[in-house]
Structure 1
């Protein structure tokens, strides 16, 4: 049982490490999809980007994609 808990803790740590490295989004990033225009707009900073999937990178200070 202790070995299982250690493996579980290591898996959780690895997951959070993976999440931190694959995304640069901050707590303020609030992406909303505008389907008619075919773009994503951040409701916090107003950055815009095109695409079918939600952005994985913070575009704060950027005006378009």
Structure 2
């Protein structure tokens, strides 16, 4: 019974952490476009759902909806 409050706090902390690192909407699906030229050290991404485009540093993906 003493573990119950600890488990609740851990679950809430995990939910907060996951929400903090992603602000994507369900419709956004970012795809790396390897054929599109991007600045050195960056990758070009295009959303398959809405068509938004952006460049991000290598190893990172967009985490926000950029719908016009």
- TM-score (norm. length: structure 2): 0.69
Hey, what does 1:26 align to over in structure 2?
25
Between the two proteins, the alignment pairs up a number of residues equal to 60
RMSD: 1.7
Cα distance change of structure 1 residues 36 and 8 upon mapping to structure 2, 3 Å threshold: farther
The structure, 1 or 2, with the larger RCO (C-alpha pairs under 8 Å, 6+ apart) is: 2
Unpaired segments ≥5 residues, structure 1:
none
CA deviation profile, 1:13-57 (whole Å, cap 9, x unmatched)? 112112223332111111111123231111010001112211011
Runs of 4+ in 1 over 4 A off after TM superposition: none
State how 1:1-65 maps to structure 2 within 5 Å. 2-37=1-36, 38-51=43-56, 52=58, 53-61=60-68
Unpaired segments ≥5 residues, structure 2:
37-42
- TM-score (norm. length: structure 1): 0.71
